[in-house]
Amino acid sequence: MYKINDECTSCGTCADNCPVDAISESKNKYEIDQEKCTDCGTCAEVCPVSAVKKV
């Protein structure tokens, strides 16, 4: 399972690269829909500020 922490700058890179559209913008940062997420790790690989972590 991946989570986006408070280091998120809302750049949208993770959402743009998610192959299953599991990431969307919320109030202060992007969030991962755990129901849609396939744990592929693409979001963590492309995040420019390392705000996506495997938990």
What is the per-residue pLDDT for 22?
98
Residues 28, 35: Cα–Cα separation, whole Å: 21
pLDDT for the residue 28: 85
Beta strand ranges found along 1-55 (DSSP E): 2-4, 23-25, 30-32, 52-54
Give the distance, in angstroms, between the CA of residue 9 and the centroid of all CA atoms in the same chain.
Answer: 11
Tell which CATH architecture fits domain 2-54: 2-Layer Sandwich (3.30)
- Three-state SS for 33? coil
Q: Does the model's pTM come out above 0.75?
A: yes
Which phi and psi (to 5°) does residue 50 adopt? 55, 40
Give the pLDDT confidence of 1-54 residue by residue, as tens digits: 999 999 999 999 999 999 999 999 998 899 999 999 999 999 999 999 999 999
